[in-house]
Amino acid sequence: MEILFLLLIFFLLLIKLGMPALEELSLNLLNKKKSPPKDKYLKNSNFFSIAEKKFFDILNETIKDKFLIFPKVRVADLLFVKKDLNGEKNFGSFNKIKAKHVDYVVVRKEDCRIICAIELDDKSHNRSDRIKRDQFLDKAFETANLPLLRFKCKQSYSIKEIYRQLMPYLNESKTGK
């Protein structure tokens, strides 16, 4: 009997409010359930670690005239996954890159052509899980024919040292390769 009464109320509401109003009501209820708890997320104080900021500044000083540097770029925004033999997107391969990022990406100012990606390797890159991750990324970037340069994390850097490692790729970008 209670079920019949609830169904009657539901149908009366449906007639009274109309379908769009009920859809909006149910969406509002769903969104309230999905919204994150207010105390679970906090703002990071700094975008860069101290080491990342030092390297960014010297990298920018080295190539600022003709190139832009984008930090913390998602690998899936740099590489795309070829479709499988059936012409379908290969989600397994995509899932391997969608949550990974590189520390910096160098692009040509005039047309935003990607020149190379850069990883700043601190001591965390000596852990076995990071070694596997780095090997995977090295292979993925090599396969995609996009240079992935690695710099060891240091107290200080020299413009000459960074430029020397970047020069082959910066010069190559002038020829349009």
Per the CB < 8 A criterion, the answer to whether 151 and 145 are in contact is no
Model confidence over 84-138: pLDDT tens digits?
777 777 888 889 999 999 999 999 999 999 999 999 999 899 999 999 999 999 9
Model confidence over 2-43: pLDDT tens digits?
665 555 565 555 556 555 555 555 555 555 556 666 778 888
DSSP code string of 28-92? HHHHHHHSPPTTS----S-SS-HHHHHHHHHHHHHHTTTEEEEEEEEGGGT--PPP-TTS---HH
Model confidence over 68-91: pLDDT tens digits?
999 999 999 999 888 877 777 788
Q: Is the pTM here over 0.75, yes or no?
A: no
Nearest to 98 by CA among 72, 70, 77, 119: 77
CB atoms within 10 A of CB 79: 19
Place of tokens 């479709």: 83
The pLDDT assigned to 11 comes to 53
